[in-house]
Chains A and B, each alone.
Chain A
Amino acid sequence: MSVSTSKTMAGGVGLPDKTASANRRSMSVNTKAFLLFLLILISGGAIWELVVSLRLLSPLIPAPSLILSQGFELIRDPFYSNGVNDAGIGIHLLASVQRVLTGFLLAAAAAVPLGFMIGMSAVLSKAIDPFIQVMRPVSPLAWLPIGLALFQSSESTAIFVIFISSIWPILINAIFGVRSIPRTYLNVARTLEANRWMIVRKVYLPATLPQIVTGLRISLGVAWLVIIAAEMLIGGRGIGYFVWNEWNNLDIANIIVCIVLIGLVGIVLDRLLSLVEKRVKYEH
C-alpha cells in the first residue's frame, strides 16, 4: 500500500518557499515567480499566435486570441438552458461536480466504516488485501459497462464509476491508518477499560482522521479525472460530454476553454479538502 507516493500526488508540485540566495535582490521570490509566470504565459501565447497565423499547425488549432474571445462568450451566460441539448457551460460543470460529489460521498460513507472494520482485524486486513491490490490498478472506466448492465441508466452508471474510483484510496488509507495506530495508544485505552465504542470514537477516529482525509483528497482528485472520460462515453450532460460534443463540432477553441475550466474546478475541490486536512492534523 503505497501511501507516501499518493500523498505527494495529492500535494502536487511544491516549490521551496524561500532560499537565502534568492533574497539577494530586493524583489521577493513570489514577485519574481509571478513575473516569470506572466512572461511564460504571454510569450507562449505570442509564439502560439504567430505559429497559427503562419499556418504552421493543423487548421483545426485555434489562435489564443480566438480562444480568449470564445472563452468570454462561453462564460458570459454560463447557466442558460434551451432544452436538453443546448445548455450553458456552467450547467455542464455543475452536473459533473454533482456526480463526482455524489459518488465520492457514497464511497466515503462506505469505505470509512469498512476500512475501520477491516483495519481493526489483522486477519481481515490480510484476507481483503489481495482484492484491493488487484482492483486498485484497474482504470475505473473498465467498470463502466458493468455499471450500465447493473443500472441501465447513464446517470447511475456515472455515479457508480465515480464510486468505484473513489473507494480504493479511501479504503486503503482508512485500513492503513487504523493498522498504524501506535500500540501504546491502544494500551492506554485498554488499561483504562475503555469500551469498544469509546475506543473507536475517541482513539481510532481522531488518530486516523488525518490519514483518512488524505485518502479523501486523493479520491476526489481521481474522481474528477475520471468523470470527464466517463461522461464522454455516457453522454447526456456534464463537462466531459460537452468537450466530446465540441469535438464533434470541431470547435477546438471551446475545448481548450473547457480544459482550463476543468483544471480550475479541480483546484477548488482539492483546496477544500486540504483545508479539512489542515484542521484534523496533529503533531506527535
Chain B
Amino acid sequence: MNTDPLLKINRVTKSYKTRGKVFDALDEISLDIKEGEFISLIGPSGCGKSTLLNMVAGLEDCSTGQIVLDGMKIEGPGVDRGMVFQSHALYPWLTVFDNIMFALDCVMKDASKSEKEALANRYLDVVKLTAAKDKKPGEISGGMKQRVGIARAFAINPKVLLLDEPFGALDALTRGELQDELERIWEEDRRTVIMVTHDVDEAILLSDRIVVMGHGPKAKVLDCIEVDIPRPRQKAELMDDPRFTALRKKLVGMLSDESIA
C-alpha cells in the first residue's frame, strides 16, 4: 500500500486584509493526511478551522505555503474534494433528488441519465431519505437536510471529504443519530475525511486522529492525538470505555486552557 500522504498541508499561513489592517489568522500549519484517514479539526471558536478547510476546498487561497492533494498543488475548488457545508447549502428550488442530481450532472458529464439517477437513488438510500426524495429542502427537517448534504458529497465520489461542523446546527438527539450514521457510512468504504467540529465526543467517535488547534491570531496546531479505539464504534458503548474517558479528559483540558489563554 502507498504510504505517501494523500493530502499534504505544508507550512500554510493565512492573512486577511480588512480596512488596511492585516490579520494573521493561521500561522504555518503543517499536516499530513493518509488515504482513508478520518481527521477531526478541533479548536476554540474563531481559530481558523473553517479557513483551513476552505483552503483545502480551494475556496480560499493560502497566503503562503501550499496544499498538495495526490501530488497536485491545490489551486482552486475541484470535484476531487467533496464539501459538506455547515448550513447544508442545498438549493431550495430543487427537490432533494434534484439537488443530488445537480452535483452528479456537474461531475459526471459523460454518464447517462439513468446511471446518474441510479447513483442518486443509491446514496439517498444510504442516508435513509428515499421517502423524502421529491420534497424540497424547505419541507424537511434540519437533520434531513444535513443528510442530503452528506449524500451529495459522497455521491460525487471525491478523494477527500470536507465536513465543516456538519452537525453543528442540530439538536443533541439528532446529532447523535447522525454521528452514528456517519460512522456506519464511513465504515463501508473508509474515505479520507477532514471534519471540523466543536464537539469532543463527536471527534473521538469518528476520528483516527484529532488535530487540536490553538487560539488565533496566528493559530497553530497544538497537538495531533491518535484515537486508538477499535472500530466499529458505537456512541452508547464508547461512553464506558476508559480510553474514551481518558481522551475526552485530555481534549477538554487542552481546549479549556486554550480558550482561557
Residues of A with Cβ closer than 8 Å to B?
184-185, 187-194, 198, 202-203, 206-207, 209, 282-284
| Cβ proximity bits B43-83 to A, threshold 8 Å, 1 near / 0 not | 00000000000000111000000000000000011110111
Give 20 new A-B contacts, CB below 8 A, not counting A188-B89, A190-B76. Answer: A184-B85, A185-B91, A187-B83, A187-B85, A187-B89, A188-B83, A190-B59, A191-B78, A192-B102, A192-B106, A192-B107, A194-B106, A198-B106, A202-B91, A203-B91, A207-B91, A282-B92, A282-B138, A283-B137, A283-B139
Residues of A within 8 A of B91 (CB): 185, 188, 202-203, 206-207
Residues of A within 8 A of B103 (CB): 192
* Interface contact tally, CB-CB below 8 A: 62
Would you call A190 and B77 a contact (CB within 8 A)?
Answer: yes
Would you call B92 and A283 a contact (CB within 8 A)?
Answer: yes
| Cβ proximity bits B80-104 to A, threshold 8 Å, 1 near / 0 not | 0111010101011110000000110
**Residues of B contacting A: mostly:** loop
Query: Can you list 6 A-B pairs, Cβ within 8 angstroms, ordered by A?
Result: A184-B85, A190-B59, A191-B57, A191-B82, A206-B93, A209-B93
Would you call B93 and A207 a contact (CB within 8 A)?
Answer: yes
CA–CA, A261 and B173, complex, Å: 61
Residues of B within 8 A of A283 (CB): 92, 136-139
Task: Tell me if B120 is interfacial: C-beta within 8 Å of chain A.
Answer: no
CA–CA, A203 and B107, complex, Å: 16
- From the candidates A187, A193, A207, A282, name the one contacting B59 in the complex (CB within 8 A): A187
Task: Tell me if B12 is interfacial: C-beta within 8 Å of chain A.
Answer: no
CA–CA, A284 and B139, complex, Å: 10
Output the residue of B77, B78, B94, B105 with the most chain A CB within 10 A. Answer: B77
Output the residue of B102, B105, B136 with the most chain A CB within 10 A. Answer: B102
Task: Tell me if B156 is interfacial: C-beta within 8 Å of chain A.
Answer: yes
CA–CA, A190 and B59, complex, Å: 8
**Residues of A contacting B: mostly:** helix
Chain B, range 33-51, C-beta contacts under 8 Å to A: none
Residues of B within 8 A of A187 (CB): 59, 77, 83, 85, 89
Residues of B with Cβ closer than 8 Å to A?
57-59, 76-79, 81-83, 85, 87, 89, 91-94, 102-103, 105-107, 136-139, 156
Instruction: Name the residue on A nearest B54 (C-beta).
Output: A187
Instruction: Name the residue on A nearest B83 (C-beta).
Output: A191
Instruction: Name the residue on B nearest A190 (C-beta).
Output: B77
Would you call A284 and B138 a contact (CB within 8 A)?
Answer: yes
Q: State how many angstroms separate the Cβ of A214 from the closest Cβ of chain B.
A: 16
Residues of B within 8 A of A203 (CB): 91
CA–CA, A185 and B92, complex, Å: 10
CA–CA, A282 and B107, complex, Å: 26
Would you call B92 and A191 a contact (CB within 8 A)?
Answer: no
Contact A193-B138, Cβ < 8 Å, known A185-B89, A188-B85, A188-B89:
no
Would you call A193 and B107 a contact (CB within 8 A)?
Answer: yes
Residues of B within 8 A of A198 (CB): 105-106
Would you call A193 and B93 a contact (CB within 8 A)?
Answer: no
Instruction: Name the residue on A nearest B162 (C-beta).
Output: A191
Contact A193-B136, Cβ < 8 Å, known A185-B89, A187-B59, A282-B92:
no
Contact A282-B156, Cβ < 8 Å, known A187-B59, A191-B57, A193-B106:
no
Would you call A193 and B85 a contact (CB within 8 A)?
Answer: no
Instruction: Name the residue on B nearest A184 (C-beta).
Output: B89
Q: State how many angstroms separate the Cβ of A210 from the closest Cβ of chain B.
A: 9
- From the candidates A184, A191, A202, A209, name the one contacting B77 in the complex (CB within 8 A): A191
Q: State how many angstroms separate the Cβ of B26 from the closest Cβ of chain A.
A: 19
Residues of B within 8 A of A194 (CB): 106
Residues of B within 8 A of A193 (CB): 77-79, 106-107
